[in-house]
Structure 1
């Protein structure tokens, strides 16, 4: 039995054991796609699924996502900071005015000292509380942090390495943990994870069993009385195999599953389950590696040609309409998509011609290896999807693709590694899904300054026209100037593609009709506060 099937089985055993004890309370049981419970120290692993379920419900940042609406992409709202602004004398400095009266779950106060303590935890390697794993995740998401200082008990200044109009979109990833939790854990993060640690969020982590489950409970003393959860508890179970999640939902062992198998969606609806989808800022691509000595992707004709070889409509059909074709980092409907010269569609003749011009012919076919995961946050159904891509590219354009199949967190580590790193085992492309929610994400994925280990520009992509347009975006003084620069930058992402654009996810999840009050936000993250059980 595979590791992933064993993990799924352990999760369901735990669920069955836990259900009777929780029957008297409103307990929402969720089957995640993760192969393990995300880490619990206040900066979860497992990508954005970790943030969705063991990040924001428990630990909060100065700035939070506004997940209250389904009809538009999620924006920002005040969190542990009531307001923030750029320093008029220094646009690289942002001033955060912290909320008063906020308590961590252990009863201690959140204030400027606690925030600076957490920043030291992530950004100061020689601090006693430095946490290497959490630091790696945070620094990758906020690669422009230069410094920070306490101004007074409820004001903190954060300084960036470059002017960044989008910095508040990075501040959402600064999750705060109680310094007292670390002391109670003997100043050992491994022990802190078992306590469990204290955040400020509407839920508190009440129980945690590695590989099996995590349990969240209502924070009755939450700082915003209007947002005290309706649920008493949330039980989180790692069930990476899609059919195992489906069986758990059908049998009543869970109330909610992430990413139901597409072919099961019609029968789920007929059986009176609620299947929810919504557009959100997500792209499921292959990243091209342009560094190293063994890559075929330095030639833009290869990268463009593959984008013309993909039958995206066929893949959407395989996914039963739970995705839409991707022809850029942003969706074509986005006002900042721009007007690129290339509008990728399924055009095998054009794809083969571009590959031939780059020297890849039927006599010398293009061949490369892609590192993929078996499941994970935002990965949809990666095994059948990648098998489809393998067959599609071979039949349409004579391209031979092989795979290095790994676990999701291993893939994330690989994406933070340089070309030809041993962890890649010869892969010259990787398949991690990506958010496309705001320019701060574009900065860390595409600017030359943020090649690993400084960010997520794993392809080692360098486009001077993109850099120029993005600098104009970072320094923009008004919305029109900002949007024009963003569109120009995105045109370069299409015409000089660092990625093979495949599909955008529609964020499907299935749940029992007992689940009420859920708003499918256009975001990777979702609000559990409004959810209730009938």
Structure 2
């Protein structure tokens, strides 16, 4: 641990350097489209590489909305609702001093979506296409305007555009048109921090961008040092010893003592679901019968898991929270009801003599995964004791699990698993489209379970074509009712986004988002 953290040169001691311990097992990739899920986007994505559309992370009292980024405005083309027009911001420069323009937008879109372009990057393309699976075409209108056309009408497209990040085309040239060399530069973005250096599996360093295009958002910190420390107790030890200033996901049982020792432990509601995905397309899956999926949702003692997590989560009984205006009025309101769960399992043919048995692919750590090993051990024991269900686990690395989620139902990488345990954002319908529409089964999206519900498809189609808030809200609620009543997932808990910080860390706003704003953070 000491060797891992003894990284900063002595000069950094005179500067404001925030040291963050991530849950990731490795430094996210540095070519401008980071891997390691949304933790990679949180720390190596948005701080350095921005999109046309950005998240508004300025408030803690409401879910994060969208705000203008490298585009100052956007709108649907009134003549073609599949086309969105983005008006670009003037005066923006990349960290290398080259101008941001419509040409650089098209260059980056070709990087992700045009496989025969010289700058095509397979790894970044795979991540971006999985988040924007409906891109059909794009074009430059003039130096300040670009158009993007989707494969279907999508009222939520700006919520997808937020995941397209932009780097300087000059970085590609400086790296000899070789992405492995570009990663070592590292490349230039437009964000309030510039990625200044990194050491694989050890650290990445961000430096204040003094020339940021929004003078009101020049960071207060001089540097941010990002450290991958996947094991929760190792992160805790690093915080207690003063080797880091901020840790993601502290061990729940350590929270009371952290507070007593004057550390700040921050939690907040945010759009995060920690589920198991059910596979409905595999050769030997038990989950084609909706009664089995409903049964398991009645077998989970969510309150007990929340207690295990020391109150850093809340029960999940749907993709959205019951307090969300789009939750709807589903027929099923899941609670801990083993009798009902066992009755549904019996109707589906699973009894004490023929118990339900299946394997779940899980990770040891990773983006948004909370504490997957103790949580899954709890689930295994809970389901066995409550409903006689036998669960086995296949433990893998987080990025391997993400790869498995882009694979078919009987792929070898699953090693017989009929369920997977990633975490999911639930921030907007663009995410729901990728996870639940039949059009987005792998490799087109994240409907790994091959779920297909005609009523959901009809409701979601109405949402996509909605032109008024009332029509949008009603369609969203109908769609969510189907997610509850014909559940594609085992809904377990919503994370409350815990992180622990030294009392020296000031100015942090815990946004109701997977992403957080480092610009406002200061060190006393």
Do these two structures clear the TM 0.5 threshold for a shared fold by scoring above it? yes
Equivalent residue for 2:39, pick from 49, 52, 55: 49
Alignment-derived partner of residue 184 in structure 1: 174
Alignment-derived partner of residue 376 in structure 2: 386
Alignment-derived partner of residue 4 in structure 1: none
Q: Deviations over 1:209-235 (max 9, x none)?
A: 000000000000000000000000000
Q: Deviations over 1:240-259 (max 9, x none)?
A: 00000000000000000000
Q: Does 1:524 align with 2:514?
A: yes
SS in structure 2 at match of 1:490 = helix
The whole-number CA distance in structure 1 between the counterparts of 2:211 and 2:344 is 61
CA displacement at 1:13 relative to structure 2: 1.9
The whole-number CA distance in structure 2 between the counterparts of 1:448 and 1:510 is 40
The whole-number CA distance in structure 1 between the counterparts of 2:58 and 2:25 is 29
The whole-number CA distance in structure 2 between the counterparts of 1:442 and 1:28 is 35
Alignment-derived partner of residue 83 in structure 1: 73
Q: Does 1:468 align with 2:455?
A: no
Equivalent residue for 1:503, pick from 493, 501, 520: 493
The whole-number CA distance in structure 2 between the counterparts of 1:484 and 1:87 is 24
- How many positions carry a matched residue from both structures? 524
Instruction: Within 5 Å, give how 1:325-336 maps onto structure 2.
Output: 325-336=315-326
Alignment-derived partner of residue 196 in structure 2: 206
The whole-number CA distance in structure 2 between the counterparts of 1:70 and 1:426 is 42
CA displacement at 1:103 relative to structure 2: 0.4
SS in structure 2 at match of 1:226 = helix
SS in structure 1 at match of 2:19 = strand
SS in structure 1 at match of 2:269 = coil
Q: Does 1:413 align with 2:403?
A: yes
Alignment-derived partner of residue 108 in structure 2: 118
Q: Does 1:14 align with 2:17?
A: no
Q: Deviations over 1:389-440 (max 9, x none)?
A: 0000000000000000000000011111110111101000000000000000
Alignment-derived partner of residue 50 in structure 2: 60
The whole-number CA distance in structure 1 between the counterparts of 2:192 and 2:397 is 31
SS in structure 1 at match of 2:434 = helix
Equivalent residue for 1:160, pick from 138, 145, 150: 150
The whole-number CA distance in structure 1 between the counterparts of 2:61 and 2:7 is 39
Instruction: Within 5 Å, give how 1:96-495 maps onto structure 2.
Output: 96-495=86-485
The whole-number CA distance in structure 1 between the counterparts of 2:365 and 2:215 is 37
Equivalent residue for 1:514, pick from 499, 504, 524: 504
The whole-number CA distance in structure 2 between the counterparts of 1:342 and 1:416 is 30
RMSD: 0.6
SS in structure 1 at match of 2:283 = coil
CA displacement at 1:64 relative to structure 2: 0.1
Q: Does 1:36 align with 2:26?
A: yes
The whole-number CA distance in structure 1 between the counterparts of 2:340 and 2:444 is 36
Alignment-derived partner of residue 83 in structure 2: 93
CA displacement at 1:297 relative to structure 2: 0.2
CA displacement at 1:15 relative to structure 2: 2.0
CA displacement at 1:19 relative to structure 2: 6.0
SS in structure 1 at match of 2:402 = helix
The whole-number CA distance in structure 2 between the counterparts of 1:106 and 1:184 is 10
Alignment-derived partner of residue 6 in structure 1: none
The whole-number CA distance in structure 2 between the counterparts of 1:529 and 1:502 is 33
The whole-number CA distance in structure 2 between the counterparts of 1:13 and 1:394 is 43
CA displacement at 1:21 relative to structure 2: 3.7
Q: Can you give the 5+ residue segments of structure 1 that lack an aligned partner in the other structure?
A: 1-8
Q: Can you give the 5+ residue segments of structure 2 that lack an aligned partner in the other structure?
A: none
Q: Deviations over 1:10-39 (max 9, x none)?
A: xx5232232634101000000000000000
The whole-number CA distance in structure 1 between the counterparts of 2:273 and 2:208 is 33
Q: Deviations over 1:362-390 (max 9, x none)?
A: 00000000000000010000000000000
